Structure 1
Amino acid sequence: MALIRKNSAGADSFGHVWPEDGAVVEVDDAEQIAALMAIPDAGFSEVIRPAAKAPEDGDPKGDDGEISEVDPKDENVEAPPAKKTAARKTTAAKPE
C-alpha cells in the first residue's frame, strides 16, 4: 500500500479520486501504483510515511510516526532559550 499524491484534482482509470489539487490517496495494488507513476507529466508522486520508532522502555506502543502536541508544562520538555533584551538606563530621581 502506498500514498499517492496528484498535483491536480482528478481521477484515474482504476477508480481512485483526488478531490483537490495535491490530495493524497491510498493505492493498494503495486501494478496500479507502477502504472500511475509511469505516466509522464501526470503529476503523480509517492508520499513517504514518517518512520516509526522502536518502543522505548516504559512505552509499550512505541511511536507510530504521527505528530503530536507537546505539553509545555511537562517536566521533560526543555524551555526555549530566553531572548536577550537591552538593559534600560535608569535615571536617578532629582532631589527636591
Structure 2
Amino acid sequence: MALIRKAAAGSDSFGHVWAEDGAVVEIDDPEQIAALMAITDAGFSEAPPSGKKNGKPEPESEDQGGEQAEFSEIDPKSEDAEAPKPAAKKTAARKTTASKPE
C-alpha cells in the first residue's frame, strides 16, 4: 500500500481520482503504482505516510523560527482607528457628438 500524490487534479485509467491539485490517494496494487510512477510528466509522486487517508493534500509546514503570527482586534471607537475614506464621486458620462461630413 502506498500514498500517491498527483501534482494536478485528475484521474487515472485505474479509476483513482485526485479531486484537487496535490491530493493524495491510497493505492494497494504495486503494478498500478509502478505504472503511474513510470509516467514521467504526469506529476505522480509517493507521499510519506501521515495517518491521514482523506485524499486531501497535507499542509506544508514552514519553519518560522519559532515565532507565531500575532492577531488582534481593532476597536472602531478608538481614537487611533482610521476614519473610513469617503467614496470617490462618480462623474456622468459625457456624450460626444460626431459631426457629419458635408
- Unpaired runs of 5+ in structure 1? 51-65, 67-96
Q: Which secondary structure does the structure 2 equivalent of 1:40 belong to? A: coil
1:19-34 counterparts in 2 under 5 A?
19-34=19-34
Answer with 1 or 2: which has the greater Rg. 2
Identity of aligned residues (%): 76
Length, aligned pairs only: 51
User: With structure 2 as the length reference, what TM-score do the two structures score?
Assistant: 0.48
Q: Which residue of 2 aligns with 1:43?
A: 43
Q: Where has structure 1 moved over 6 Å in runs of 4 or more?
A: none
Secondary structure of 1:39's aligned partner = coil
Structure 1: distance between partners of 2:48 and 2:17: 19
Structure number with the bigger relative contact order (C-alpha 8 A, sep ≥ 6) is 2
Alignment partner of 1:14 is 2:36:
no
Aligned-pair CA distance for 1:15: 0.2
Question: C-alpha distance in 2, partners of 1:49/1:20?
Answer: 19
Q: Alpha-carbon deviation of 1:28?
A: 0.6
Mapped to 2, the partners of 1:30 and 1:18 lie a distance apart of 18
Unaligned runs of 5+ in 2: 52-102
RMSD: 1.1
